[in-house]
Amino acid sequence: MRRTYLFLGVFLMAVTIQTVSAQEKFTAELMWRLGRVSDVQLAPGGGSFIYGVTWYDAATNKGNRDIYRLDRNAESPRKLTDFSGSEFNAVWRPDGKKIGFLSAESGSVQLWEMGPNGENKERITNIDGGINGFSYSPDMKNIAYIKDVKLEKDVHDLYPDLPLADALIYDDLMYRHWDNWHDYAYSHIFIAPYNDGKPGEGTDIMPGEPWDSPLMPSGGMEQLTWSPDGRYLAYTCKKLKGRDYAVSTNSDIYLYDLGSGKTENLSEGNPGYDQDPVFSPDGSRIVWRSMQTPGFEADKDRIMLCELRNPAVEKTIKSVKGKNNKPLEITYRIFSDLSEEFDQSASSFTFSADSRYIYFISGIQATYQVYRIDTETRQISQLTRGDHDIQSYAIEGSDLIITKTRHDLPAEVFRYTPQGNEEQLTFTNRSLLKNVKLAKSEKRWITTTDGKQMLVWVILPPDFDPARKYPALLYCQGGPQSAVSQFFSYRWNFQMMAANGYVVVAPNRRGLPTFGQEWNDQISGDYGGQNMLDYLSAIDAVAAEPWVDETRLGAVGASYGGFSVYWLAGNHNKRFKTFISHCGIFNFESMYLETEEMFFVNYDYGGAFWEKTRPRSYDFSPHNFVGNWDTPMLVVHGGYDFRIPYTQGMQAFNANQLQGIPSRFLFFPNETHFVLKPQNSILWQREFFKWLDAYLK
């Protein structure tokens, strides 16, 4: 089973890093030269941190990820690894004396260790089939690692006399997921004694269980955690299979006791997602993010706190005797939703050293910030501010070490003080971008048709001249519940669009998070309703500016944004001169039976199209409005997109062709819901702007 959540550089080769000496325009080729910073890990005690940078080489269509270390007050980072392949999942050993990381340098992916300065690199595991992630126990007595375990028979097991047979056989749903066919294997957690740096084969804590931990396809090591004393391992798992899995979001937090080998379900009473557990430093508490509504993948992520033990209550319990004068065996648990009065989602939890405060990331008005909650008073404080997306953070004394992005900033690491001062610590792409004039984003609040205020980002071309008239693009976001925040995308890149002379209009229409749960939830069951009016309000308001040519407007988007483009094509009243739809939903009925996570379409559509009371959502299906289509359209899709299968794109393209509408189908047989290979991505960008320029310039 392939692990899509691992860094893409796992299987990629070495790269020749090129620099740009006199680059003026932001291009696709330049974008793929940028280093991608991720996975910042603060050293025990602070003072330095390690992080990874992935570099790509479009000429070879490959990339490579290396590990760096930056010490406080150092002028530049130190490169710690230089293997021929990529290194990832780098973490400090709890004692700070070594750094563990994963590498496929020896063939399969194994655990390696090195000194703090990159010295004495040594492979310390030889696990059959390799591993996909690992974590040291705090007491350094054990490591946990994840690997794939084949539990079911494939066609060659069933028919050994047909070694050349090439087929997959399934008797239940979830036979494919996002971009992979089910391969009869499951991700399991193993625990192995550390043995002074020589761990052997571990013990499977989920023996024979036909489900995954971490969750497929995007869960990582954040979904399991050790207790401070190393006695327990908490992990995320959705212990459902086939059809039951397809129609449910009910994952849970499980607590495994290394001493007894017993497993306890901590979140059994909650029917929605429960994920990403974190222990308090004193071991008395555990927190995780929890969604309450079953089947709703975009529900509010609550701060769910579980009191594992309470000294005062434990003392009382011990004084009570049962039969034969023996102490009663009582499990003490108290659960609290700390965010009941907080109308925002929360994730990425970290406890303060005294276990009283919980830090987390939350979105507010199309930005992502760090917050802190006092578990005793439940008072929540916003610690960071600014138009940026904080992707990760670590606590160093009173400061925060944050990784953040903006529309004009690929991910970099900063120090953020309690006074609100920022210091940029890494400058990974400074030399590449020093001669590039980047576009700036403007924040606007636009009144919607129902009288509400909607935040819209307007990105203006570099060297913007208000005396000119520019073509404009309405950017339609995917998700459907995924904020148009201060992200730096390597596909839908606002810098690229602006650099090619387009004004970009990016509305946070109905159905996007960071504006309260009511705004987020409204879209479910109303795909062709208020959020489409929000799109039109945004483009109409900006098109009224004297520097926008209202006769040269386009609409572009992917996933739900691709659906939005298809819907607008039949309902735009001649506003747009061209459309680009990537992996969009075209026909709700066929989509319902082609996708894999059925809980999504059940919740957002309101159920199956054959129900006696047909859900209203099916009336919004773009194929119902094809008779109104008359505008040139570029359709893009990937062959391994199982969330929105490529047949949706084929239907849209065929509808255009049969009606004689200028159209093009850009198909990537080996790409997924996303275009991830460098040369395919550059081709995507070239076709994207070639199409736009033909109709808008």
Phi, psi of 218, deg, nearest 5 = -115, 0
Token pair listed for 281: 């430093």
Token pair 């980047």: residue? 438
Q: From the candidates 564, 663, 673, 681, which is the catalytic residue? A: 673
Token pair listed for 225: 């955690």
SS3 category, 345: coil
CA distance 614 to 607: 8
Token pair 């400090």: residue? 92
SS3 category, 48: strand
The secondary structure element, H or E, covering residue 554 is strand 548-558
Alpha-helix runs per DSSP H in 342-493? 430-433
C-alpha dihedral sign at 334, 338, 343, 344: negative
Q: From the candidates 86, 559, 663, 681, which is the catalytic residue? A: 559
Whose CA is closest to 483, among 379, 590, 372, 407? Answer: 407
Q: Are residues 280 and 286 in contact, defined by beta-carbon separation less than 8 angstroms?
A: yes
Whose CA is closest to 61, among 676, 692, 686? Answer: 676
Q: Are residues 297 and 273 in contact, defined by beta-carbon separation less than 8 angstroms?
A: yes
Whose CA is closest to 302, among 262, 258, 347, 246? Answer: 347
Q: Are residues 608 and 618 in contact, defined by beta-carbon separation less than 8 angstroms?
A: no
Tell me whether residue 324 is exposed, middle or buried, using C-beta atoms within 10 angstroms of its C-beta: 0 to 12, 13 to 18, 19 or more: exposed
Token pair listed for 648: 């949706």
Angle CA(140)–CA(218)–CA(275) in degrees, nearest 5?
Answer: 65
Whose CA is closest to 87, among 32, 11, 197? Answer: 11
Residue 572 catalytic?
no
CA distance 498 to 461: 4
- Residue 512 vs residues 322, 345, 416, 485, 620: alpha-carbon distances, Å: 55, 12, 27, 10, 19
Question: 573 CB contacts (<8 Å, ≥6 apart)?
Answer: none
Question: 266 CB contacts (<8 Å, ≥6 apart)?
Answer: 234, 252, 253, 254, 255, 277, 286, 306, 333
Question: 386 CB contacts (<8 Å, ≥6 apart)?
Answer: 367, 369, 422
Residue 641 catalytic?
yes
CA distance 183 to 176: 9
Q: Are residues 657 and 665 in contact, defined by beta-carbon separation less than 8 angstroms?
A: no
SS3 category, 14: coil
For strands 232-237 and 224-226, give the pairing. antiparallel
Token pair listed for 405: 């992005």
The greatest distance separating any two alpha carbons of the chain, rounded to the nearest whole angstrom, comes to 92
Whose CA is closest to 332, among 352, 311, 351, 347? Answer: 311
Token pair 């929360």: residue? 346
For strands 663-668 and 633-638, give the pairing. parallel
For strands 422-424 and 389-396, give the pairing. unpaired
Q: From the candidates 66, 212, 408, 641, which is the catalytic residue? A: 641
The amino acid present at 362, given as its one-letter code, is S
CA distance 556 to 459: 15
Q: How many helices and strands, by DSSP H and E, does the chain display? A: 13, 38
For strands 409-416 and 422-424, give the pairing. antiparallel
Residue 559 catalytic?
yes
Q: Hey, which residues are catalytic here? A: 559, 641, 673
